[in-house]
Amino acid sequence: MSADEVSLLRDLQRAILETTEENAAYTKEMATLSAKLNLDVKTLPNDIKEDLETVSSILKAEKLFEFDEMTLQVVKERKIIEEKKWEREQKQMSIQYDKLFRNCTKLQTKLDHLQDAVDSLKNSIDVTEEDKNDMYCNKVFLSTKLKEYQQAVEKLETDLSKMQVDEFYSEKILNKFKLYLEKTSRLADLNQSLAKYENLPPNLLQAKLLLESKRKEYEELEQIFLEKTQ
């Protein structure tokens, strides 16, 4: 037999012994109570036996060594007083509990509002951070574009310097263009004037040739102007 089995067997024997002793004491108490009441327990109905067991338990719990009606009445009154005291304490505890519960509910409501405020503030901070990130990205993008534009302007200025164009070059081109438009207008008027002489008789052929010569001169002037403006 192992040590654990020996230990369990010992505990079982001790429990049997304690139960036997309690049963013997209970039987003795029942016999004493029955003798004082002049009752034969064996002949009593089961419900009477149960009542006697209850009375015996009360006497044992109250540490009474004999059946005394006055003493039992005192014990009964004391039980009533203790029950009322317990009920009063329970009522007071209930009132305190309700008060604490209301305070706890109010505190929880405040905590919920505070949590909502914290969440709202956190969301605002997150949005602000996103805006800051967007602004930073836009700033970087615009800075990059500005740098590209500056480089493009510098390149154009360099190209313009290489062309050796003075500051009045654009004005000269504009004046030449105006002169070209003026000459073109005069040439158109002249062509319109010469159109009516296309069907002249042979005796006016010399005059026509002269006019044709003038037209060629204007065309040559126009060609020279175009070459200089290019």
pLDDT tens digits, one per residue of 76-89:
777 788 888 888 88
Q: Give pLDDT, residue 89.
A: 85
Averaged pLDDT of the chain: 71
Question: Which residue would you say has higher pLDDT here, 196 or 108?
Answer: 108
Q: Give Cα 79 distance to the centre of its chain.
A: 60
Q: Give pLDDT, residue 167.
A: 57
Q: Give pLDDT, residue 92.
A: 85
Q: Is the pLDDT of residue 39 over 60?
A: no
Q: Is the pLDDT of residue 102 over 70?
A: yes
Percent over 90 (pLDDT), the chain: 0
Q: Give pLDDT, residue 121.
A: 76
Token pair 């067991």 in the structure block, residue: 53
Q: Is the pLDDT of residue 67 over 60?
A: no
For residues 128-141, give the mean pLDDT. Answer: 76
Q: Is the pLDDT of residue 206 over 70?
A: no
Confidence class for position 137, pLDDT limits 50, 70, 90: confident
Q: Which two tokens stand for residue 204?
A: 């006016």
DSSP secondary structure code for residue 43 in this structure = G
- Alpha-carbon distance of 174 to 171, in angstroms, equals 5
For residues 96-106, give the mean pLDDT. Answer: 82
For residues 159-175, give the mean pLDDT. Answer: 65
Task: Write the single-letter amino acid at 66.
Answer: E
Q: Is the pLDDT of residue 74 over 70?
A: no
Q: Give pLDDT, residue 153.
A: 74
Q: Is the pLDDT of residue 155 over 70?
A: yes
Which range, 27-36, 56-65, 185-194, 221-230, is most confident? 185-194
- Alpha-carbon distance of 53 to 31, in angstroms, equals 11
Alpha helices in 163-195 (DSSP H): 169-195
Question: Which residue would you say has higher pLDDT here, 48 or 138?
Answer: 138
Q: Give pLDDT, residue 111.
A: 80
Q: Give pLDDT, residue 199.
A: 58
Q: Decide: 200 and 207 in contact? Cβ < 8 Å.
A: yes
